[in-house]
């Protein structure tokens, strides 16, 4: 009896969360795009609360699958200011990783927008998917800014990332692994 109550409560909570959002299947994956905008840490938690994980792009096929999901559901960002958080973060050593898989970004596929990652003010450590002109691509951006986000089903056969002991470095300065733009002679690229 107790288990049944817990089950129905869990379904009710998940349904309440998902009702705020788009949730459809594309190819062999399920993606989930929020309508709310939150910081990266809260986006990670929101996906987890829904039994999902922040979306990652490990292959060319996954890149296409995610783009098709966005196109099919007519949720393409309208401009460069309305992107979606993905799972990518810049670690302290300057290298970008997919937090949900623990794998390095760009091993099989890369999709940075032109001039990115720019690490503006040395504090852009989280990866968003944004639109520039007509192209979707990745941008590093301030983790404490609010963005919508895309979750996906937890990968059945991995890889699975381990939570880091502390994520506070995401809002701290980090000049490692970054093209060293001088703002005196190079405009800040957002």
CB closer to Ca ion out of 88 and 101: 88
CB closer to Ca ion out of 118 and 152: 118
**Which residue in 72, 95, 100 sits closest to 85, CA to CA?**
100
Taking the C-alpha atoms of residue 158 and residue 145, their distance in angstroms, rounded to an integer, is 29
Q: Which residue is listed with tokens 């995401």?
A: 170
- The residue within the footprint of Ca ion, chosen from 39, 118, 152, 174 (CB under 5 A), is 118
Query: What is the smallest separation between the CB atom of 115 and Ca ion, expressed in angstroms?
Result: 8
Taking the C-alpha atoms of residue 181 and residue 166, their distance in angstroms, rounded to an integer, is 28
CB closer to Ca ion out of 53 and 140: 140
Query: What is the smallest separation between the CB atom of 142 and Ca ion, expressed in angstroms?
Result: 9
Alpha carbons within 13 A on the beta-carbon side of 84: 26
Which one of 24-32, 93-101, 111-119, 151-159 is the stretch in contact with Ca ion (CB under 5 A)? 111-119
Residue nearest to Ca ion (CB): 118
Residue 17: phi and psi, rounded to 5, are: -65, -45
Q: Between residue 122 and residue 141, which ones bind Ca ion under the rule CB under 5 A?
A: 124, 139-140
Q: Which residue is listed with tokens 């093209």?
A: 179
Which residues are at the interface with Ca ion (CB under 5 A)? 116, 118, 124, 139-140
């Amino acid at each position: 009896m107790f288990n049944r109550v817990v089950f129905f409560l869990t379904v009710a909570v998940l349904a309440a969360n998902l009702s705020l959002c788009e949730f459809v299947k594309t190819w062999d994956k399920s993606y989930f795009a929020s309508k709310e905008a939150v910081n990266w840490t809260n986006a990670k938690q929101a996906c987890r609360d829904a039994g999902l994980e922040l979306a990652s792009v490990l292959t060319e096929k996954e890149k296409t699958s995610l783009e098709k999901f966005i196109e099919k559901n007519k949720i393409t960002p309208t401009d460069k200011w309305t992107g979606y958080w993905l799972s990518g973060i810049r670690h302290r050593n300057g290298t970008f990783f997919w937090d949900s898989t623990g794998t390095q970004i760009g091993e099989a596929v890369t999709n940075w927008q032109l001039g990115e990652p720019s690490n503006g003010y040395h504090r852009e450590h989280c990866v968003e998917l944004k639109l520039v002109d007509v192209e979707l691509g990745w941008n590093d951006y301030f983790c404490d800014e609010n963005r919508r986000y895309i979750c996906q089903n937890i990968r059945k056969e991995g890889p699975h990332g381990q939570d880091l002991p502390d994520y506070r470095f995401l809002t701290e300065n980090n000049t490692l692994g970054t093209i060293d733009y001088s703002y005196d002679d190079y405009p800040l690229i957002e």
